[in-house]
């Protein structure tokens, strides 16, 4: 059992969990640490939901009306339920539309700390630099991250704010971009640096997409309850702070990221964008630091929550 901390505020926090029978359920986690099962709460209240009450994706696709239904259930079911620490908390979106969209070099200090690993002629980009993490990289917020030294012995951490897209859009303008955001979550873009930077000529997709290297969660906070413009991002390894940044230092802000990503490319409800990491990664340290079996990686986004993943030898 993992002791899961829930911030003591009134934000709506939406999670996906597995019940005692292993069925995937949609829940609301309350400040007291208890979870309301959305579909079960609707059944007990005699309400017929306009979306599949067991599915985060269905909630997202249901738009403002579905979210309003969940808010009403949260007000009705204010007591009881499961303790979140007794549940298996899954990634908020256990099945992704496709790869996670990622933004590279989006914090100036992080760009500087990686200078030794880049072409010396590389300058700050004029546009967001996009890459992706494969769907098999997705991992739960409290699940182990697999480690295989024969594949990579340079596993690094990158705490990032995740943006969950709420509605279909293409060629979205910066002005309207935030209207397309359903909510926010935490992601750690765990990276195999030797694959990414050196081996086989450098492999960004492979170095970013090893199985289980994208813990996400622990839940989603809806956009209407979260100001993403200035929130703290922290990584701890074995309790020691390694990254301590703030989204206000993003080089490209979220509206610009969404606008550029959607140019000529349709974004779908449930797509996830990982918006870049602040400085403090292991690669940029002297000497470099890498995760190893037994290490405990914690990823925390202020106002969202904290993930805890143990590095486990495969």
Model confidence over 200-226: pLDDT tens digits? 556 789 999 999 999 999 999 999 999
271 and 199 fall within a common domain: yes
CB 272 within 8 A of CB 257: no
Percent of the residues in the chain that have a pLDDT greater than 70, as a whole number: 93
Angle (CA) 85 298 54, round 5°:
45
Q: What is the mean pLDDT of residues 115-132?
A: 72
3 within domain boundaries: no
Helix (H) or strand (E) holding 63: helix 56-76
178 within domain boundaries: yes
262 within domain boundaries: yes
Say how many domains are in the chain: 2
295 and 182 fall within a common domain: yes
Q: Domain ends where: 36, 61, 90?
A: 90
83 and 43 fall within a common domain: yes
104 and 166 fall within a common domain: yes
Beta strands in 189-289 (DSSP E): 191-192, 214-222, 232-237, 240-246, 272-274
Rounded-to-integer distance, Cα 76 and Cα 42, Å:
10
Confidence of residue 176 (pLDDT cuts 50, 70, 90): very high
Cis preceding linkage at 105, omega within 30: no
Q: Domain ends where: 90, 124, 143?
A: 90
43 and 159 fall within a common domain: no
4 within domain boundaries: no
Does residue 161 carry a pLDDT above 90?
A: yes
Phi and psi at residue 161, to the nearest 5°: -80, 130
47 and 177 fall within a common domain: no
Does residue 118 carry a pLDDT above 60?
A: no
308 and 208 fall within a common domain: yes
Model confidence over 94-115: pLDDT tens digits? 999 999 999 988 887 755 655 5
7 within domain boundaries: no
Phi and psi at residue 110, to the nearest 5°: -70, -40
Does residue 116 carry a pLDDT above 70?
A: no
79 and 107 fall within a common domain: no
DSSP 272-287: EEE----S--GGGSSS
Q: What is the mean pLDDT of residues 66-76?
A: 94
82 and 117 fall within a common domain: no
6 within domain boundaries: no
180 and 129 fall within a common domain: yes
Q: β-strands 100-104, 34-37: how paired?
A: unpaired
80 within domain boundaries: yes
Confidence of residue 119 (pLDDT cuts 50, 70, 90): low
Give me 29's structure tokens. Answer: 């986690």
Q: What is the mean pLDDT of residues 3-15?
A: 94
User: Which single residue is written with the structure tokens 């409290």?
Assistant: 142
Confidence of residue 43 (pLDDT cuts 50, 70, 90): very high
Q: What is the mean pLDDT of residues 238-248?
A: 97
85 and 104 fall within a common domain: no
Give the global pTM: 0.94
Model confidence over 282-301: pLDDT tens digits? 998 999 999 999 999 999 99
Q: β-strands 296-301, 305-313: how paired?
A: antiparallel
Does residue 77 carry a pLDDT above 80?
A: no
Q: Tell me, what's the pLDDT at 117?
A: 55
Per the structure, the complete domain to which residue 169 belongs is given by: 100-313
Q: Tell me, what's the pLDDT at 115?
A: 55
Q: Identify the CATH number of the domain in which residue 284 sits.
A: 3.90.850.10
1 within domain boundaries: no
222 and 270 fall within a common domain: yes
Q: Tell me, what's the pLDDT at 244?
A: 96
Q: Domain ends where: 90, 113, 139?
A: 90
């Amino acid at each position: 059992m993992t002791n899961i901390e829930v911030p003591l505020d009134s934000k709506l926090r939406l999670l996906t969990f597995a019940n005692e029978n292993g069925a995937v359920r949609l829940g609301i986690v309350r400040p007291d640490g208890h979870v309301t099962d959305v579909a079960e709460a609707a059944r007990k209240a005699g309400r017929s939901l306009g979306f599949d009450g067991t599915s985060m994706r269905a909630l997202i696709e249901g738009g403002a009306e579905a979210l309003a239904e969940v808010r009403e259930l949260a007000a009705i079911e204010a007591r009881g339920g499961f303790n979140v620490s007794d549940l298996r908390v899954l990634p908020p979106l256990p099945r992704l539309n496709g790869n996670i969209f990622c933004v590279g070099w989006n914090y100036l200090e992080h760009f500087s700390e990686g200078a030794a690993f880049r072409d010396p002629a590389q300058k700050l980009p004029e546009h967001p630099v996009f890459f992706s993490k494969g769907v098999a990289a997705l991992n739960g917020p409290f699940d182990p991250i697999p480690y295989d030294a024969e594949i990579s012995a340079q596993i690094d951490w990158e705490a990032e704010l995740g943006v969950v897209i709420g509605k279909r859009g293409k060629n979205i303008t910066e002005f309207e971009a935030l209207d397309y955001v359903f909510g926010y979550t935490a992601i750690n873009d765990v990276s195999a640096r030797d694959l990414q930077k050196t081996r086989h000529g450098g492999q960004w997709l492979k170095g970013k997409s090893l199985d289980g290297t994208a813990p996400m969660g622990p839940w989603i906070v809806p956009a209407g309850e979260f100001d993403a413009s200035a929130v703290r991002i922290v990584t701890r390894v074995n309790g020691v702070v390694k990254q301590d940044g703030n989204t206000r230092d993003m080089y490209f802000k979220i509206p610009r990221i969404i606008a550029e990503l959607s140019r000529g490319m349709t974004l779908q409800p449930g797509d996830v964008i990982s918006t870049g990491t602040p400085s403090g990664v292991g690669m940029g340290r002297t000497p470099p630091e890498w995760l190893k079996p037994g290490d405990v990686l914690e990823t925390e986004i202020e106002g969202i929550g904290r993930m805890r993943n143990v590095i486990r030898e495969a």
